[in-house]
Amino acid sequence: MKLEELKNDIEAEKFLIEIGVLNIKEECPYCGSNEVYSIRRNHFKCKNCRREWSKYNGTIFKDIRIKP
């Protein structure tokens, strides 16, 4: 896939995961629990330790505000 072929945010995110820029995991980065749920766009919360995080933590996008 070429950069010019990306048509929306979902395709762009899949492309970044494919090339290894994003490494999004569905587990809590604080306690390691797999019991997490989405609380808003791009943010998750752990059912075990109740902490919140962005799916972009640990990536080059961690300090960038991404507008919906």
Residue-level pLDDT at 56:
82
Q: Is residue 19 part of a domain?
A: no
Count the domains in the chain.
1
Q: Is residue 61 part of a domain?
A: yes
Q: Is residue 48 part of a domain?
A: yes
Residue-level pLDDT at 67:
65
Residue-level pLDDT at 46:
96
Residues in Cβ contact with 16 at an 8 Å cutoff, skipping those fewer than 6 apart: 22
Q: For residues 9 and 20, is the Cβ–Cβ distance under 8 A?
A: no
Print the domain residue range for 53.
25-68
Residue-level pLDDT at 66:
65
Chunked mean pLDDT (size 10), the chain, 68 residues: 76 85 84 93 92 85 71
Q: Is residue 57 part of a domain?
A: yes
Model-level pTM?
0.68
Residue-level pLDDT at 19:
86
